Amino acid sequence: MANEKTWETELAKLGAMQAQAREGGGSERLQKQREMGRLTARERIDYLLDPKSFVELNMLAEHQCHDFGMEKKTYLGDGVITGHGTIRGRRVFVYSEDETVLGGSVGKAHGTKIHTILRLARETGVPVICLNASGGARIQEGMDNVYGMTGMFYQNALNSGVVPQISAIMGACTGGNAYSSALCDFIVQVKKGSYIFITGPAVIKEVTGEEVSFEQLGGAAAHSAVSGVVHLTAEDDRECLDVIVRLLDYLPQNNREKPASRSCADPVDREVPELTDIVPIVMSKNYDVKRIIRAIADEGDFFEIHKAFARNLVVGFSRMDGQVIGVVANNPKFLGGCLDINASDKAARFVRTCDAFNIPLLSLVDVPGFLPGVRQEHGGIIRHGAKMLYAWTEATVPKIAVIMRKMYGGAIPAMGVHEIGFDQVFAWPSAEMQMVGAEPAVRILYRRELDRAEDEKALFDQKVREYQDTYLTPYHSASRSIIDAVIHPRDTRSVIISALRMLENKTEPSRAYRKHGNIPL
């Protein structure tokens, strides 16, 4: 009989459909993408995951739209490849959008495939990698886009703080897709040929009259240095995927685990005498705090996050005694290490990320205070600075601070003291800590005496020295248990590791019940 089923015919049909799905938008379009120096959606998954570990889900899904001639434009898989596999033996979920299929646009079927793996990632406690290359919502599907696109945001938000979510911008990532990426923990963007924005140059020109290129508006340079949307950048597709693998190495599978520790040959009691060469004792001289981080870390290990954004503050992952830690450090090389609006946001976000995934925090302090100025005040420095205070207070992971040179004013709680929830606070002998510096303090405290003095300058200089010797030394703070110890700079590494070991099993008493706090966003 002509219609009789056989294993041979059914398996041949399955094989043909799978082969069709693997072709995406067709061999010509795939080849064109390769000729542009980019990997295809499937090649990206193959490069990222361990060989033969990928298990594809919903390979044969298709859109169900019959408007605007869409019934003639169906592709198996509907422009996104979804599934799970392993990276260095660790299970991950992954989706990879395919720009050769309807521009990678998101409709109901496309979005549903993404919803599914985002939900499975949360329910199984596994990280999710989002490889974005999409022109945004598929307008031909009308309000079905609400299901396809908005459901992605919903699942991203539910996953937040539960499993790591890493988004890669490897092509266009526009409209609603940009929000899905923004809801992830980290965004990595390829420098060439990738863009992320809500509204494109054409719409901007029509509405506002502004003319801007794709690169200026949504390129990696703009979003890594100006907007702060992007955390990490890469030269090409392969480097982007390599960055993801390295980043994942510092993260746990989920919020119930700690990042994996590793054996390290770097002695825990290694002295670091070069720290006093790196840090000038003269407060007005600058240095790069990243040299300090690498000097005290295991074998110089430091993976910086948000490198080009708010460079007056450095954040990133390191290891000490084989254990992953998050580092927050003032960098006097830029703006003298002052905290400003962008630095506050950068720190608060990083602190909360580390706390969500059980990563201890180290604060390296050398800060003159918050950056003064009308622009900062009107830009909301009070609100943004409060985010840092909130993040430190909310965090329950071990928190250690080392005050290297100075810590003044509102920056005191913003960078770490016991009263904001820090477990251990240490200071170098060079450290100065007070609400204000010596000169402004003397002008306030001795104003009348200075006004009556025969030699105002001599009296002023005398009082400044007295104030410095009495109140600006770490010993004043040590006498009040504001700091736990004054340490020799060369012992910084061993002191931090000792504190980390002591705090390894730290638990906090239960806090008052609340549905959630109200961070000053």
- In this structure, the dihedral spanned by the alpha carbons of residues 417, 420, 424 and 430, taken in order and rounded to 10 degrees, is -10
Could you tell me where the beta strands, DSSP code E, fall in 279-338?
302-305, 313-320, 323-330
Active site residue 410: yes
- Helix/strand/coil (H, E, C) string of 89-140? CEEEEEEEECCCCHHHCECHHHHHHHHHHHHHHHHHCCCEEEEEEECCECHH
| Per-residue DSSP letter, 449 | H
Closest CA to 171 of 185, 187, 190, 153: 190
Active-site position among 77, 176, 316, 326: 176
Catalytic residue among 148, 151, 175, 200: 175
Q: Report how far residue 43's alpha carbon sits from residue 45's, in angstroms, rounded to the nearest whole number.
A: 5
In this structure, how many other beta carbons lie within 10 angstroms of the beta carbon of residue 415? 26
- What sign has the CA pseudo-torsion 394, 395, 396, 400? negative
Give yes or no for a contact between 423 and 398, defined as CB atoms under 8 angstroms apart. Answer: yes
Write down the catalytic residue from 121, 348, 411, 438.
411
Q: Which of 83, 410, 416, 437 is catalytic?
A: 410
The H or E element that residue 168 is part of is strand 165-174
Cα–Cα distance for residue pair 362/326, rounded to 1 Å = 6
SS3 170: strand
Beta bridge partners of 89: none
Amino acid at 250: Y
Separation of alpha carbons 401 and 421, rounded Å = 11
Number of helices followed by number of strands (H, E) in the chain: 22, 16
Amino acid code (one letter) for 344: S
Instruction: Note if 69 is an active site residue.
Output: no
Residues designated catalytic: 175-176, 410-411
